[in-house]
Structure 1
């Protein structure tokens, strides 16, 4: 029923959601250099809402894998004077397998963030921003993804663990979809 590895299962089960999510969010406006400063603030806030909700849950079960992308987003938002006191989204992991599924989505974003980060300085509306913490082209950002892959490759998973992780990865993509529909940013 399941392909050989946890990674293969996560990748196969979420590929359509991943493509749909990439297609329909404000990051595309960074890629074509048409994003306004207000849209950029909203994109940062949307990402902050999702990462803040997820990363805290992942950290409960995978402290060695937990990243702090939400803190990078918070710093970028604070520079832009956007209030980020609390995320409007709720998310919960019940066990380590679910945290592994959520972490797949969170850590997998490093490559996309790096690619998007290369384009920020080419956006006329963003040229005056200081170096961004979240969307930047710094290759060290993929270190967490590589650590996650190493973690997955160095252990065996039961069918039940794989099933639980896949289900939570899909729920994590759903959470990001909700986040990318958030309109309100507090100033």
Structure 2
């Protein structure tokens, strides 16, 4: 599938750079503190809230479930000041597809992270998580997204616009991953 290959290839380096500097690595090596976990959830919440609302404007069947799950996890941990949103917009269906590629693709990493939470002594008290659940059902959005991509043909302009917006979406996540949480 030409659009998926373009999205994958042209965002790979940016994706790797952003992933390497993310607090989530501390879950993978089991060194994360509870405050760092709250920060990670908050940073993801801001990125997802900023991007999912824009995607939903152009993809009618799109679910903002990641934002809702993050909000639930944050509130369960006592983080309630969730008014922050970063400047991000989509102007076309192609751009929404590029943003959705990043957002939905993150489900794979989120599933792996969710499986490791149980192995972090400092996170034993958080209970079941809705966002980093480790549950395969978190992949449903990615699978639906792939099905949508397969149902359409994309011209070179759409592929280019989607790829450009995917890069901008990764940069949105990078911006969110630099935010601080002041009311842990």
Aligned pair partner of 1:10 in 7, 12, 29: 7
Kindly state the Cα deviation for residue 184 of structure 1 after the two structures are TM-superposed.
2.6
Residue 130 (str. 1) matches residue 130 (str. 2): no
1: distance between equivalents of 2:150 and 2:182? 40
Aligned length: 184
Q: Residue in 2 aligned with 1:142? A: 139
Quote how far apart the aligned CAs of 1:128 are.
Answer: 1.1
Unaligned runs of 5+ in 1: none
Distance 2:2 2:139 in 1: 21
Runs of 4+ in 1 over 3 A off after TM superposition: none
Which residue in the other structure is 1:114 paired with? 111
TM-score, normalised by the number of residues in structure 1: 0.95
Matches within 5 A, 1:30-179: 30-179=27-176
CA distance in 2, matches of 1:96, 1:154: 14
Contact 1:105 1:169 in 2 (8 A): yes
**1:85 and 1:27 mapped to 2: Cα distance?**
20
- Structure 2: 5+ residue runs without aligned partners? none
Per-residue displacement from partner, 1:84-141 (whole Å, max 9, x unpaired)? 4312412100010000000000000111000000000111110011200001111011
Residues 74 and 84, structure 1, Cα contact 8 Å, conserved in 2: no
CA shift for structure 1 position 22: 1.1
Could you tell me how far 1:66 is from its partner in structure 2? 3.2
Equivalent-residue separation in structure 2 for 1:163 and 1:156 (angstroms): 13
SS of corresponding position for 2:125: coil
CA distance in 2, matches of 1:59, 1:45: 21
Normalised by the size of structure 2, how large is the TM-score?
Answer: 0.97
Distance 1:148 1:88 in 2: 24
Taking the aligned partners of 2:28 and 2:71, their CA distance within structure 1 comes to 22
